[in-house]
Amino acid sequence: MEFVHKPVLFNESIENLCIKPDGVYVDGTIGGAGHSLAITKSLNERGMLIGIDRDVEALNVSRQRLIDAVPRIELVNDNYKNMKSILANLGIAGVDGILLDLGVSSYQLDNADRGFSYRFDAPLDMRMNTNDKITAKDVVNNCTKEELVKIFRDYGEEKWASRIADFIVEKRQKVEISTTFQLVDIIKAAVPVGARDDGHPAKRVFQALRIYVNDEISELRESVLNAIDCLNTGGRLCIITFHSLEDRIVKDVFTEEAKACICPPDFPSCVCGKVSKINIITKKPILPSTKELSENNRSHSAKLRVAEKK
């Protein structure tokens, strides 16, 4: 299957990186190198791109697509949460820009074998890194009802979480739930037809399972803090999110790291010692244009936030 993925907020993210020809840039979620190709075209032979991805297939595609790139290229099969150690291993003290395009790629969604999509019948997998141990099948069959409810509510904002969990527990007592269509049928049985007012009834549950299996939320805050620390002065951090949980975390971290002293206002002088690390470039997130919304369905929930290291 060809790795096809149309980058979201493409021009906006490249523009906001403010690329220097001899700079060092990190694409922490390189995917099929959609954004990275544009970054490398703005770099000269003294520049460098570090591409990180949990998906080996994505890295293999990126390696081919970047084969004629002028700057130095380093591709790493890892999680962007480990950016500090990745850069240390490469002997790099700081970088001039970082791009994080969060969430699942179109290729992963459209590759039936990966089990990310409710549109194809496939094994319940959903692992971005196929070497990880826990799959969606493990979660659905082994988590307690209470754990399933929490996953569906916290990561999918699914209002029918409890009823869906009940139906899953009842079904798995009779047979193992091992495929996407098995799970889709259970969700359809649990969610009343009249309540299906927001697209496919399985959409939120599949999102929640993907986030949980790949641990996308729990370490996002620390990952953003680490990314800020990795920037040189004047370096830009561009983060594209696709749902409110991600966006809220990014917004909160940016707000916290932009603040200086956080002592109570009645203190005569600062005792906390906190310094402002960044300037927030986007007071409100950048949203897709009307043209992009009409051309790329995946862009509908996308938001871009940008910060600059002081």
- pLDDT per residue rounded down to tens, the chain (310 residues): 445 557 899 999 999 999 999 999 999 999 889 999 999 999 999 999 999 999 898 899 999 999 999 999 999 999 999 999 999 999 999 999 999 999 776 666 767 788 999 999 999 999 998 889 999 999 999 999 999 999 999 999 999 999 999 999 999 999 999 999 999 999 999 999 887 776 789 999 999 999 999 999 988 999 999 999 999 999 999 999 998 999 999 999 999 999 988 788 888 888 887 889 999 999 999 999 999 999 888 888 899 999 999 9
Q: Return the closest-CA partner of residue 105 out of 156, 52, 157, 58.
A: 58
The residue assigned the tokens 């002592």 is: 263
72-77 sheet: strands from edge to edge: 72-77, 48-53, 24-27, 95-101, 231-241, 303-309, 278-280
- What does each C-alpha distance from 146 to 155, 161, 260 come to in angstroms? 14, 10, 41
d(CA 234, CA 225): 16
d(CA 249, CA 228): 14
Q: Considering the entire predicted model, what is its pTM?
A: 0.88
Q: Does residue 231 contact residue 306 with C-beta atoms inside 8 Å?
A: no
d(CA 126, CA 109): 9
Fold of 118-213: DNA polymerase; domain 1 (1.10.150)
Fold of 10-103+217-309: Rossmann fold (3.40.50)
- The first and second tokens of residue 120, run together, are 């194809």
The residue assigned the tokens 């527990």 is: 169
The reply to whether 10-103+217-309 and 118-213 are identical in fold is: no
- The first and second tokens of residue 278, run together, are 């960044």
- The first and second tokens of residue 309, run together, are 């290291």
Domain-by-domain residue ranges, the chain?
Answer: 10-103+217-309, 118-213
